[in-house]
Structure 1
Amino acid sequence: MTPELFWLTMTALLAASMWLPFIIGVNTVGMPMPSENRPPDIAQAPPWIHRAWRAHLNLLEQFLPFAVIVLISHLAGISTPLTSAAAMAFFFIRVIHAVWMIAGLPVLPVRPILFTLGWVAICTIGGAVLLT
């Protein structure tokens, strides 16, 4: 397994687990469920639960392009120290972003910077694919 595929797997596991803070929060706070058997209204959630929901969605927004680029690089046989570092960086950037967002840490513009760094990591791997 290449390092890029390892970090893709780790990121997939992170994405697959990011629903947990939201569900734990909804169930511990006891948000009322609508009578139509629909999910609870996120606007009525405490701020940290809403942030957990957004952190999950935000990760999914970047996960798809990351996964596609890593898989393309793998199929093309491209694995360099730079692409490996970019894949590892992407994972840790997304972990930090999720923790920062759920915790509601007020220092801005950290979250947009982290999102941008994730994009740079994706573009780094994509650039290696296109330039090889």
Structure 2
Amino acid sequence: MTLATAYWCVLVAALLPYLWVAVAKASAPRYDNRNPRGWVARQDNPRLQRAYNAHLNALEAFAPFAAGVALAQLSGVAPSTIAALALGFVSLRVVHGLAYVADLALLRSLAWFGALGCVIVLLVRAALAVA
């Protein structure tokens, strides 16, 4: 695996929030693009709420992941390690979103912790590489 793999994973992770918000918008009729957050707040569709929450969570998870990949690369961590952790992160974040929409709370939480673990390992490896 190469560093390019990790960079592609950053792109996929950047796009995941938009996948989940598309699922949210498609889960109820008459999406209001003039006031999207108000529209979401007025909905009582549980699937829509879960998909929107997956969207927000994916946005929150992206910055630490992107920073972890960049810092690991800048500090000289092995590209194969960075790529493996990036693939793990993206895979777990896809599982997280699917589990969120499907209301599988335990699987969602396990995927969330696993993805966070990938980010932590990236950041720790970066710190150790420059120490």
The interval holding the TM-score normalised by the smaller chain is 0.7 to 0.9
Q: What's the CA shift for 1:9?
A: 1.4
Task: Describe how 1:71-90 pairs up with structure 2 within 5 A.
Answer: 71-90=70-89
Structure 1 segments of 4 or more deviating over 4 A? none
Matched, 1:11 2:13: yes
Q: TM-score, normalised by structure 2?
A: 0.81
CA distance in 2, matches of 1:7, 1:49: 26
Identity, in percent, stands at 24
> Do the aligned residues in 2 keep the contact of 1:43 with 1:50 (CA within 8 Å)?
no
CA distance in 2, matches of 1:75, 1:129: 8
Deviates further, 13-22 or 116-125? 13-22
1:23 matched residue in structure 2: 25
CA distance in 2, matches of 1:73, 1:49: 36
Q: What's the CA shift for 1:82?
A: 2.5
Q: What's the CA shift for 1:41?
A: 4.5
Deviations 1:30-88 (A, max 9, x none): 36x6xxx5331525331000000001111111111101111222333433433221110
Gaps of 5+ in 1: none
Q: Classify the secondary structure of the residue corresponding to 1:18.
A: helix
Gaps of 5+ in 2: none
> Do the aligned residues in 2 keep the contact of 1:83 with 1:124 (CA within 8 Å)?
no
> Do the aligned residues in 1 keep the contact of 2:9 with 2:86 (CA within 8 Å)?
yes
Structure having the larger proportion of residues in helix:
2
CA distance in 1, matches of 2:59, 2:87: 17
1:109 matched residue in structure 2: 106
Q: Are residues 55 and 75 of structure 1, via their aligned partners in 2, closer, same or farther at CA, if it must alter by over 3 Å?
A: same
CA distance in 2, matches of 1:14, 1:79: 26
Q: Classify the secondary structure of the residue corresponding to 2:39.
A: coil
CA distance in 2, matches of 1:41, 1:14: 19
Q: Classify the secondary structure of the residue corresponding to 2:60.
A: helix
Aligned length: 124
